[in-house]
Structure 1
Amino acid sequence: MPSYKIGNVKIVRYIDDTVDTLIVSSEHLSESLEIIKGQNFKSISIGGSYNLSDIDFLKECQHIEKLYLKGENLRNFDGLSYLVNLKIIAMNDLNKKVKLDLGNLFSLEELYGELPTRATGLSKLKNLKRMQIWGYKPLSKTYSEIGEIENLEVLHLIQAQIESFEGIGQFKILQELDLYGLNKLKDISSIGLLRNSLRKLIMENCKNIQDFMPIGSLDSLEHLTLQSCGSMKSIAFIQGLPNLKFFNFEKTDVEDEDLSYCQTIPTVYFTKKKHFSHKQKDLNNLKFENVPFPTL
């Protein structure tokens, strides 16, 4: 991670980032603000060298578009309301008991990190397009509380306390859904409501899903990963996925042993088991040009 200094203020370029980020220091707050405004920095990080409990100084830099928040010292987040141009926010290692209202971030397009337990306002983020969060614990244990984010295109949930897909149909244009470690997830019957939009579905370490058949109604699906998901009665449901090009079910068992349904999929990965009807090499020998594609 390359870095340099302007006076006493550190500037870094995070991995996979395209702009420099200024690290705000409470010890050199005035100098940090002067550089932010004078050189028009649009990406800043608050944490580590920031020891104040509030972020009210944001009133003086309303042009900020990207914000990194980190550290248990932060207690008062009212300063966020000044960031009328904020597009991306990432948060990590915050005190889980603090109040955090995200409802005023109307311009927000991307949200990353672990939210405090008392975080509110997610449903008001109407312009949010991408969300990747850890440990989400909705009271309903469904998607109902965030289903109003109608412009969401990408949703990643890690270790979320969700039991069913109720409410997921409100994501009208969701294209990618990644779920990791949702051990309480049982019912995915409502996933068919995403049939016209969802192109990529990843479920990993979701071992209590009772029925995978509803996945077969996702007409637009191109990429499917069901890794370390216990066992499936059958993978016959993939017959209903005319656009599927990639299927990975490594470390997930298939009870009826029949892998013949994979023969028209260009790329398939699975963990070898003696009772499976096909071996990996049997599927890899397929010629790509023989795979049927939908008529334009």
Structure 2
Amino acid sequence: MDWTFNSILFDEIDVNKVYQKDLKNNDISWPNQNFGNSEYAILWHLKTTDKIVNQIPKSDNLKFLQLNWANITDFSLIADKFTKLKRLELQCCIKLLNDDFIDGLSENLEHLHILTSKKFIFEQNLLKLKNLRILCLNDCGPIENLDFLKLFPKLEDFRFVNTNILDGNLKPILEHPTIKSVGFLNKRHFNIKDLEMQKLLGEKTNK
């Protein structure tokens, strides 16, 4: 399960390990129809109703989960069903509010991608994910400051595209011992711009 360069080449993965389903239309768009044996799952329109949730059983085999347009407000459903996840991606989960129960994934989770959850504000539970290597909080709610980065001892890549850092101080990225790459959009109050950040990170990595 090599996720180097932050990408997954699904055409190189055994089709029997990948499961894709649109829960709104009850449509499986992949040859594999056995969720229980799958290691990778991509689901559309997950709703937190008994009828929909019961379509997705618990699984200790699942390592990768991508949810598109799910109506979850926290991570309780995910943490209850998929404790062995190594990579979680949430795209356009616009009702996501907080990080409650995400610490239930702390033992194994290495990649966390949250994209376009503008109401999402994390507090203490996300900070318990000590094995995170990749953290993407793109187009999410504002973050007070980046002091929390020091709590992720294995973090290598941090992205916050279109997410505001309220105090504007990006120095904690450079002060972190293992961060090698970063992605963000320049804002007037940020004290380090993107090109300068790339240069400084490169110098730090090459020391």
| Short-chain TM bin | 0.7 to 0.9
Cα displacement (A) at 1:147: 6.5
Deviation track 1:231-268 (CA, whole Å, cap 9, x = no partner) reads 22222222111111111101110112221211132101
Q: Which residue of 2 aligns with 1:179?
A: 90
* 1:167 matches 2:77: yes
Q: Aligned partner of 2:93: which letter?
A: L
* Residues 143 and 280 of structure 1: CA distance in aligned 2, closer, same or farther (over 3 Å): farther
Question: How many residue pairs end up in the alignment?
Answer: 185
Cα displacement (A) at 1:134: 1.2
Q: Aligned partner of 2:42: which letter?
A: Q
Other structure's SS at 2:117 match: coil
Cα displacement (A) at 1:211: 2.3
Among 173, 184, 196, the alignment partner of 1:270 is: 184
Q: Which structure carries more strand by proportion?
A: 1
Other structure's SS at 2:121 match: coil
Q: Conserved in 2, the CA contact under 8 Å of 1:115 and 1:135?
A: yes
1:135-154 to 2 correspondences below 5 Å: 135-139=45-49, 146=56, 148-154=58-64
Q: Aligned partner of 2:59: which letter?
A: I
Structure 1 residue runs without a partner (length 5+): 1-14, 20-64, 67-86, 88-108, 291-296
Q: Aligned partner of 2:205: which letter?
A: F
Percent identity over the alignment is: 26
Distance, in Å, in 1 between the alignment partners of 2:48 and 2:183 is: 33
Cα displacement (A) at 1:111: 1.1
Q: Using structure 1 for the length normalisation, give the TM-score.
A: 0.55
Q: Which residue of 2 aligns with 1:259?
A: 170
Among 203, 223, 226, the alignment partner of 2:134 is: 223
Among 232, 239, 242, the alignment partner of 2:150 is: 239
Q: Conserved in 2, the CA contact under 8 Å of 1:147 and 1:167?
A: no
Among 9, 13, 18, the alignment partner of 1:110 is: 18
Distance, in Å, in 1 between the alignment partners of 2:10 and 2:97 is: 35
Q: Which structure carries more helix by proportion?
A: 2
The structure, 1 or 2, with the larger RCO (C-alpha pairs under 8 Å, 6+ apart) is 2
Distance, in Å, in 2 between the alignment partners of 1:150 and 1:16 is: 20
Distance, in Å, in 1 between the alignment partners of 2:55 and 2:144 is: 31
Structure 2 residue runs without a partner (length 5+): 1-8, 28-33
Larger radius of gyration: 1
Q: Which residue of 2 aligns with 1:5?
A: none
Q: Using structure 2 for the length normalisation, give the TM-score.
A: 0.77
